[in-house]
Amino acid sequence: MAQDTNLLRHLLEQDGAGIVQRWIESQLASAGFRGDRISRAELAEQSRRFLSLVREASAAGTTDIQSPVWANTRQMLEELSTSRAHQGFSPSDTASFVFSLKDTLFDAIKQQGGRDPEAVTTGLTDVGGLLDRLGLYTTEAFQRSREQVIVRQQQELMELSTPVVTLWEGVLALPVIGTLDSARTQVVMESLLQKIVETGAAIAIIDITGVPTVDTLTAQHLLKTVAAARLMGADCIISGIRPQIAQTIVHLGVDLGTVITKATLADAFAIALRRLGLSVTKAQTQVKRRRATDEDEQPVEREDA
């Protein structure tokens, strides 16, 4: 037999205010009530809002909580899950919020049903089923928000582990540590291009000493990064190519095109400087000619802070 929300809607229209009041009271009176975590006023407000949304949604007749008519109710439960998690409640605490409504509604159904046991049973099944699904939805929502936190932390970790360093004016270095999968590559490209815009660097050295293996995919990711930097007017040099990696690249037939590769970051840096028309020379010792006055020969005292 198909479930519908007609009885529920009827009950809420008839005595919505009474039901909400009794529900709030039963929650406050229950052993699980956390007066330290949530105020009576807040509990009352949440209960009223939930029941009013349920009343609206039940007007459509369907008990399928995934349908668009239940969207507002789902959203409220999602927000409730998140805020209760912040307040220190466990996921089952939030689900209990929904389940606790069952007792109050069951009482109302039994009163309504009077001496019609079949009507009472149907009513209990319909309403019970609906509230079960809504209660479970809150635990799912809680789970998802935890997962989102984890994903966000992973993202931050990826960003932290791919710093872009300014080696010299106009020269950036990007030491890649760990595997270069497609998610990581996105982060790497974003950081590198952002830094190119900020510093106006024209040369970027991508050091892959910390990348354990280079397969065809990794090579593709590297080439993508190089291509993206090129589009922003910066040339890339890939350094940190170990002998094994060189072998893999040749065996896989990866075409590095015109990208310059160097075994060490130092070699790559030397090339970068040369490109910029710079060179490193030894500092010359300067011999000061002493003047004949005494002043110059007195030691200057340093003021220590």
Partner 1 sequence: MERIAILKMGEYLLVTIQVDMHDRLAMTLQDDLTSRIVSSRAKGVLIDISALEMVDSFIGRMLGDTAAMSRVLDAETVVVGMRPAVAITLVELGLSLSGVRTALNVERGMDLLKARIKERRHSDGPS
Partner 2 sequence: MTVLLSDHRTIQSSEDVVSVRQSVRQRAVEIGFNLIDQTKIVTAASELARNTVQHGGGGHVTIERVEEGGRRGLRLTFEDHGRGIPDVELAMRDGFSTGGGLGLGLSGARRLSNEFYIHSTPGEGTRVTIVRWR
Binding interface with partner 2 (CB under 8 A): 66-68, 71, 78, 140-141, 144, 186, 190
DSSP letters of 57-83?
HHTT----TTSGGGHHHHHHHHHHHHH
**Closest CB to partner 1 among 157 and 197?**
197
From the list partner 2, partner 1, none, partner contacted by residue 194 (C-beta under 5 to 8 A by kind): partner 1
Residue that the structure tokens 């109050």 belong to = 104
* Ranges assigned E (strand) in 158-259: 165-168, 171-177, 203-210, 235-239
- How far is Cα 237 from Cα 20, in angstroms, rounded to an integer? 68
CB of 51 to partner 2, least distance (A): 23
CB of 140 to partner 2, least distance (A): 7
Neighbours of 61 (CB within 10 A): 15
Main-chain phi, psi angles of 262, to 5 degrees: -140, 155
- Which residue of 6, 149, 233, 252 would you call a contact of partner 1, by CB under 8 A? 233
**Closest CB to partner 1 among 232 and 263?**
232
Torsion sign, CA atoms 66, 71, 77, 82: positive
CB of 171 to partner 1, least distance (A): 14
From the list partner 1, partner 2, none, partner contacted by residue 66 (C-beta under 5 to 8 A by kind): partner 2
Length of the chain: 305
Half-sphere exposure of 250 (CA within 13 A, CB side): 6
**Closest CB to partner 2 among 13 and 198?**
198
From the list partner 1, partner 2, none, partner contacted by residue 227 (C-beta under 5 to 8 A by kind): partner 1
Is 189 among the residues that bind partner 1 (CB under 8 A)?
A: yes
CB of 203 to partner 1, least distance (A): 12
From the list partner 2, partner 1, none, partner contacted by residue 144 (C-beta under 5 to 8 A by kind): partner 2
